[in-house]
Amino acid sequence: MKDADRSFLNKKTQTCYYGYGNKKMLPYNAAKRKCEDAGLHIVFMETEEEREYVAKEITQEIGGHWIGAEMFSHRWYWVRGCDALDPIVNPPWRYNHSVNYSRAIIWGDKWSGKFPGQYCRFVCEEEPFKEEICDGFRSFERVNEWSSDAFFRSFNTLHEVDCGRLCLADPSCKGFRFRKSGHHKCALYNRSNTTTKTKTRCDAPREERRYIYLSIDLSIYLSIY
């Protein structure tokens, strides 16, 4: 990314990082969108090795910056585009964390809670190419009606795509319903009672099931971006 202030290369993993400093700070959603528009994603740390690299090599150079972690119903998840969400266990908070914060920055190797509308530095991550060869899949259904006794979880999410990602993250989920109003906007179901539905196939590579490639019917989601 030519407009980045700094670029970093992790030679061991062949992962590139592009840092944006004080003069190019953005709110969380705008920073995330800028990364995704370039075919990248806002940085997140899937391994302890990557966490140490980001803390020592990147954060020390550009300061605290957004990470791709989002909170839904008091639980934190790594997110990437429209892929499934990966739960985060015991986030390393620098201070006592308030549940009012739904986004976070990393400073050194510790997190600090932030509101998504705050302006912060950010880092876009470009991972090496991974051939998408899959030997299995799981699909979920988006339907108009659901059986009330099939409901088993609910979340308060801003967008329908987040509701779909939460469904993909839960092995029990067979479908979801998203409402633009109401306290629990996202409802997950383990079965449906209608034949009117749209199937979405989620392919996962054999060796690394955490890399989820989700094929989305864009007509469902265009209105939210």
The runs of H, that is alpha helices, within the chain are 28-37, 48-53, 60-62, 160-169, 218-221
**Phi/psi of residue 183, each to 5°?**
-70, -50
Least trusted range by pLDDT, from 36-45, 77-86, 125-134, 202-211: 202-211
What pLDDT, in 10s, does the model give residues 122-138? Answer: 999 998 744 333 233 33
Q: Quick one: tokens of 117?
A: 């509308």
- Residue 130 CB: number of other CB atoms within 10 A? 10
6-126 CATH fold: Mannose-Binding Protein A; Chain A (3.10.100)
The single residue listed with the structure tokens 């528009």 is 37
Under the banding of pLDDT at 50, 70 and 90, the label for residue 85 is low
Q: How far apart are CA 156 and CA 185, in angstroms?
A: 5
Domain ranges in the chain?
6-126, 134-224
- Specify whether the CB–CB gap between 175 and 143 falls below 8 A: yes
Average pLDDT over residues 51-78: 87
